[in-house]
A and B are shown apart, each in its own frame.
Chain A
Amino acid sequence: MRVDELEYQKMIQRCLRCSICKWIPQVQIKSQKYATACPSIDIYNYHPYSGGGRIILALLLETGRIEPSEELREIVYKCTECGSCAVSCKFLNTLEPLEIIMKLREKLVELGCGPMPKQQEYIEAANKVNNPYNEPHEKRLAWLPKDIQLDPDAKVLYFVGCTSSYRRQEMAIAAAHILKAAGIPFNILQDEEFCCGSPILRTGDVKTFKKFLNKNLDVIESKGIDTVIFSCAGCYDTFKVDYPLYREYNFRVLHTVEFFDELLETGKLKLIKEIPITVTYHDPCHLGRNAERYDDWDGDIVDLMPLVSINIPPKPKRTGSNGIYEPPRNILKKIPGLKFVEMERIKEYAYCCGAGAGVKSAFPEFALQTAKIRIEEAEDTGADTLVSACPFCSTNLQDGIKESGANLKYYDISELLLMSLGLEPEKLKEITEEAG
């Protein structure tokens, strides 16, 4: 379960100000250059911009030492909620920096001091047209290629998501073609698909988020679906991790990397074309460390001695260890001709792309600067191609490549998979242009 109010009040008094949250896990540091974990403090430098700094902000607000203000709001929202601070802190500690930041945003929203104006705009757009891009709801399906047959009785549902529907259509097209190539009957929600609510939840507007949660679950549950697959890490994380906190459901959720990895393992997909590139993979936060379910805990707190309490059994701790790290790597390693190299900061301690939690809208320069840091790290591996598995990371990283003039190509993993199945990327781009 999420941190409740009582735990929140206790935790915000416990920051040791040790600065561990600013670094990747100490034992994983491999170079001076790539030792840091938090884009926010990396760029803004003042301590309040770190995970620990925001815990102190929460305490300052609760104790009345500061009042809600624009200055406070800006610092609290200049954070992609990537969770890197939490991974590092929780190596030894029992604090929950990310949970505290999320709850702090909820409190700011309740106090009328959040979200940021640009975030409010996209929330209003989502309320109006079911997507934060303010694009017509009717155009949500425009990406769908004519040669893709949907099966209304299929047990597999592909939840496309707003970003793939309106901005990164090549990902949706690639996913659909891969499913077709594997002979998997699938359906999509068409005009019954609504924003998953992730960009709304991450701003602290839980009330509006719940509306979208219920809308989506009502529709999906009415269709008797067994499995919902996502090509967007944000939608995936929201359905898998956040939705069950508010409402249970009975279908399986998978990211396309998990699904496609299974298809490759079982021989339903055969990779025939060599892709002679050197690739490095960026772990999306919402597919990696944050995509870990909350486990219920039905134990007891034992007050062993004065000041010493223990949990029997131990409370489950979300440390990013159950994120989806191997399936995308398995896929990449199976692509013939492809050489795979890792960045220094990967898996549960991967550096954020910079776009999440409303940052791309509210602080585009921050998002871009962060992307450029990540791109430099990708370039330092010697790779010629950067790959990820999230349309939001895709947008921001590609913006960063363009801005920095880096000599890097970018693909979503589904695009590479499609190429290796024998479909040329140029054709994909043609299809994208037609659909757009």
Chain B
Amino acid sequence: MVLEKEILKEFQGIVGSENVNDGEVITNTYSYNWCMEYVNYMEGKEPIPFSPIPKAVLLPSSTEEVQEVVKLCNKYRIQFKAQSTGLGPWNQPSTENSIILDLRRMDKIIKIDNKNLYAVVEPYVSGAQLQVEAMKYDLTVHMPGAGPQVSPLASATSMNGPGFTSPHTGHSARNVLGVEWILPDGEVLRLGSAGLKNNSDWYNGDGPGPSLRGIMRGWAGAKSGIGVFTKVAIKLFPYPCNTEFKLQGYSPNYNFDIPDFMRLYVMDCGSYKYLKKAMLRIEEEEISFMCSHLSGYGLTAIFSYSIESMMDKMAIASLKTPLVVLIAARTKHEFNYKQKVMEMLLDELKLHNIIGTKYTPNSIFYAEALRSNLGLHGFIVTGGFQSAKGQCDTVKTCLRTTKKSIPLKKKYIKKGVIGNDFGEGVWMTSYESGHYFHVESITLFDQTDEESVKGMGEFMEDNYQFDLVKHLGAPFFVEGDRMHNMFGPYMMNYHKWLRKIKKAFDPNEIADSGFYISAKSEN
């Protein structure tokens, strides 16, 4: 679909002619994304990595420009899809009658308030960029499992938000303070203390000033379905150890000067039942920087840089129910305390740390742990993965989900359409001292193999049914009308309320609701 010349001119008038492009090459490039193959297949379309092609791509540079663009979209009834770094099918338009708002030019760190522990950022500040600036104040930021190269703003306002450092840095949903939100009609709404008429500031998302955090993002975010977020204040946390970050050598075989007060523990809990006990007990003590369960297979992946280098780690691949705990401290005193607690716990739980005996990781692992780069290791086996599940719940439910789903996963492994992780491939991490956990089932597939793509799509679909039938909680990707219509009736008909919210905020259906919910009824 081609953008009418007059409309193009109006967009150019807002952002400048070099910041709008409706050419075939650029618009087609933006139609490509990771996982679009199986998403398309699940929607009954050809399993190709392309979404509908937007009419144009715009690069606004300010809140005011975004507002004007959104108002113009309303005028001409063109949908918009906003994106930051653009990783994942949630960045894709669901119709050709759309434009993409690539927020790349909005890349400022507005402020770092080191006293009140928050930073205000624009959409295209990456997690790593924010972390290194925060480190100048001995602070750090939460980065999602997708990696340090993605946008903390996008994670905080519009996506899920689990992370490897969650025991220390929480969950993106819980870290949101003040927000600047361009509503689907183009008006600006500032949430929390940022919305105060007088002396507005960013320190609180829930007031004084309007608190709409639940409506804005709920559990999984609206993925641009409820507007555009142009600024967000997010919590900062004490950097867990010395901020000196020295590397020697060359990529990827860097040697990292491991901070003095940092120690890794990898233990085999032997069973899910014992894993539950161990995770709750460890998290209760509030000492960990990382506390994650991965399968033995997944464990070899986070310590490896290629699939070949996974093969010499059979010693850890054979662990039955591994638990990874990383402690870090800023002083010797703190470190001694944390180590003593861990020793006490290992003794109490009769667990044994294999690090330093059975296995010693390369030092770069610690750098990646601090920089939240471990999630990307999921790609080294088959080149593609996505997560089924995604439940955020009690440890009991998360582990029940894991255990019950193994036979389902094995069914697809047997078909040869997803990678063989023996059904156990999960990542589970803890939040708020074991108050809740999340679990996702890392599923390996090959995006260049049509059978694998179809198999992945069918597996995801089966999982959704399975989660409902077995009461395993709500997975990550309950998004789009079809999924909300499926899950809603089992979850107090939340989807009816979500539709009302969409209708109230976006009566013209201008914010692309492909991965959110549309205002039209389910019938």
- The answer to whether any beta carbons of A and B sit under 8 Å apart in the complex is yes
Which residues in B have their C-beta under 8 angstroms from that of A56?
A: 29, 32
Of A11-19, A159-167, A236-244, the stretch lying at the interface with chain B is A11-19
Which residues in B have their C-beta under 8 angstroms from that of A47?
A: 26, 29-30, 86, 102
Contact between chains at A307 and B250 (CB < 8 Å): no
Which residues in B have their C-beta under 8 angstroms from that of A65?
A: 28, 50
Interface centre among B29, B252, B373 (most CB of A within 10 A): B29
Contact between chains at B418 and A307 (CB < 8 Å): yes
Known: A23-B149, A75-B25. A319 touches B250 (CB 8 A): yes
Known: A26-B373, A92-B377, A306-B416. A46 touches B446 (CB 8 A): no
> CA separation between A411 and B46, bound complex, in Å?
57
- Kindly state whether residue B87 has any CB partner on chain A within 8 Å: yes
Which residues in B have their C-beta under 8 angstroms from that of A53?
A: 29
Known: A14-B447, A48-B29. A19 touches B24 (CB 8 A): no
- Kindly state whether residue A30 has any CB partner on chain B within 8 Å: yes
Known: A18-B376, A91-B305, A310-B311. A71 touches B25 (CB 8 A): yes
> CA separation between A53 and B32, bound complex, in Å?
9
Contact between chains at A17 and B32 (CB < 8 Å): yes
- Kindly state whether residue B353 has any CB partner on chain A within 8 Å: no
- Kindly state whether residue B339 has any CB partner on chain A within 8 Å: no
Task: Report A220 CB to chain B, min CB distance, Å.
Answer: 31
Contact between chains at B308 and A312 (CB < 8 Å): yes
Q: Produce 1/0 per residue, A309-347, CB < 8 A to B.
A: 011111001011111010000000000000000000001
Which residues in A have their C-beta under 8 angstroms from that of B85?
A: 19, 22
Q: Find residues 2-36 in chain A having any chain B CB closer than 8 Å to their own CB.
A: 10, 13-20, 22-23, 25-32, 35
Contact between chains at B384 and A16 (CB < 8 Å): yes
Contact between chains at A35 and B445 (CB < 8 Å): no
CB-based nearest A residue for B444: A307
Q: Which of A14, A35, A308 touches B129 (beta carbons < 8 Å)? A: A35
Contact between chains at A48 and B25 (CB < 8 Å): yes
CB-based nearest B residue for A87: B251
Which residues in B have their C-beta under 8 angstroms from that of A17?
A: 32-34, 86-88
Known: A305-B419, A349-B251. A14 touches B383 (CB 8 A): yes
- Kindly state whether residue B196 has any CB partner on chain A within 8 Å: no
- Kindly state whether residue B221 has any CB partner on chain A within 8 Å: no
Task: Report B85 CB to chain A, min CB distance, Å.
Answer: 4
- Kindly state whether residue A219 has any CB partner on chain B within 8 Å: no
Interface centre among B125, B245, B309, B383 (most CB of A within 10 A): B383
Which residues in B have their C-beta under 8 angstroms from that of A19?
A: 85-87, 149-150
Which residues in A have their C-beta under 8 angstroms from that of B376?
A: 18, 20, 92
Q: Which of A10, A87, A92, A322 touches B379 (beta carbons < 8 Å)? A: A92
Which residues in B have their C-beta under 8 angstroms from that of A261?
A: none
Q: Find residues 255-307 in chain A having any chain B CB closer than 8 Å to their own CB.
A: 305-307
Known: A16-B87, A32-B132. A319 touches B382 (CB 8 A): no
- Kindly state whether residue B169 has any CB partner on chain A within 8 Å: no
Q: Produce 1/0 per residue, B291-316, CB < 8 A to A.
A: 00000000000000111110100000
> CA separation between A17 and B133, bound complex, in Å?
25
Task: Report A48 CB to chain B, min CB distance, Å.
Answer: 4
Q: Which of A26, A69, A307 touches B128 (beta carbons < 8 Å)? A: A26
Known: A14-B447, A66-B28, A92-B379. A27 touches B373 (CB 8 A): yes
> CA separation between A46 and B305, bound complex, in Å?
30
Contact between chains at A321 and B147 (CB < 8 Å): no
> CA separation between A88 and B373, bound complex, in Å?
13
Q: Produce 1/0 per residue, B141-168, CB < 8 A to A.
A: 0000011111000000000000000000
Q: List 30 A-B contacts (CB under 8 A).
A: A10-B448, A14-B384, A16-B87, A16-B384, A17-B32, A18-B376, A19-B86, A20-B376, A23-B126, A25-B252, A26-B371, A27-B247, A27-B367, A29-B148, A30-B245, A45-B102, A46-B102, A48-B26, A60-B32, A66-B24, A72-B25, A75-B25, A91-B305, A93-B383, A305-B419, A305-B420, A307-B444, A308-B382, A310-B311, A311-B308
